Amino acid sequence: MAETAKILCPEKIVLLPDIEAGCTLADDCPAEEFRIFRESHPDHFVVSYINCTADVKAQSDLICTSSNAVDLINQLPKDLPILFAPDQNLGKWVQRQSKRKLTLWPGRCIVHETFSEEEVLALKLKYPRAEVIAHPECMENLLDLAHYIGSTSKLLKYTSSSTSNQFIVITEPGILYQMRLNNPKKEFIEVPGIDGCSCNACPYMRLNTLEKLFECMKFMKPELVMSKSIIEKALIPIEKMLKMSN
Ligand code: SF4
């Protein structure tokens, strides 16, 4: 996200409270390995989820978010072969929604892969009137249990517009804070990781603490520095996404 901010506003200073606050989706798709994979599919149009490195963005034809991925894929010519990276779970969901075969890079989010199907089934028994809502980065067996699937922003909107008063939420639990703020009379139930572990909480997101934010604003560092050529190349597929989203 910090890299995307810098790509869109290269003249501005972009600070990141903890420079190590990355993402497994980005780590799972190293630029050099991706280049080899892409070159082995030379006729493919490359669509990359925004949770990837700037290097991978620079190798892509189009960037998407979890909100607009299906809509963007549906706008592409039906006979165009598509390579989708880096999240294979999101890719499989887009495949099902768009009814198109995609060539998938085998990346995954460690957080969304730790949700337990057994825990969801147990919660459904305990709260039979609750709606199950899930992020498309979850595995297919969990998405099959959901009443509603959507990006973080769509899940937030859905919990406000739905007439249900109880939700079992299968995504990174940080979002429950905002859901509860928006809907103080509704109940939001967190799904634990496998065997009840707390590995459903993203260790990367939690690196950016309030203390580090304070220090970062006070001392104006660490600053994100990126090469001009990567910024220029990565901007092209992001601008294409923005144009196709209008
Ligand atoms: S939850 Fe963490 S690891 Fe997963 S996509 Fe989000 S930032 Fe990346």
The pLDDT of residue 13: 97
CA 158–ligand 1 middle distance (angstroms): 21
Give the dihedral sign, CA 243/238/204/12: negative
Q: How far is CA 54 from CA 45, 103, 163, 235, in A?
A: 18, 21, 40, 9
Task: Look at residues 62, 26, 69, 63 and name the one whose alpha carbon lies nearest to residue 45.
Answer: 62
Q: How far apart are CA 230 and CA 44, in angstroms?
A: 21
Cα-to-chain-centroid distance, residue 13: 24
CA 77–ligand 1 middle distance (angstroms): 31
The pLDDT of residue 116: 87
Q: What is the pLDDT of residues 205-227, one digit of tens each?
A: 999 999 999 999 999 999 999 99
The pLDDT of residue 220: 96
**246 strand-pairing partners:** none
Cα-to-chain-centroid distance, residue 169: 16
The pLDDT of residue 199: 76
**131 strand-pairing partners:** 167
CA 78–ligand 1 middle distance (angstroms): 31
CA 110–ligand 1 middle distance (angstroms): 7
As for ligand 1, residues whose beta carbon falls within 6 Å of it are: 23-25, 51, 109-112, 172, 202, 204-205
Residue nearest to atom 5 of ligand 1 (CA): 109
Q: Give me the residue spans of the domains in the chain.
A: 2-109+223-245, 117-196
Task: Look at residues 97, 128, 112, 111 and name the one whose alpha carbon lies nearest to residue 202.
Answer: 111
CATH homologous superfamily, domain 117-196: NadA-like (3.40.50.10800)
Domains 2-109+223-245 and 117-196 agree in fold: yes
Ligand 1 atom showing the smallest separation from residue 202 Cα: 2
**pTM of the full structure:** 0.94
Q: What does pLDDT average to in each consecutive run of 10 residues of the chain (246 residues)?
A: 95 95 94 98 98 97 97 97 98 97 96 91 97 97 97 97 97 95 97 78 93 97 96 98 93
* CATH 3.40.50.970 given to domain 2-109+223-245: no
The pLDDT of residue 193: 79
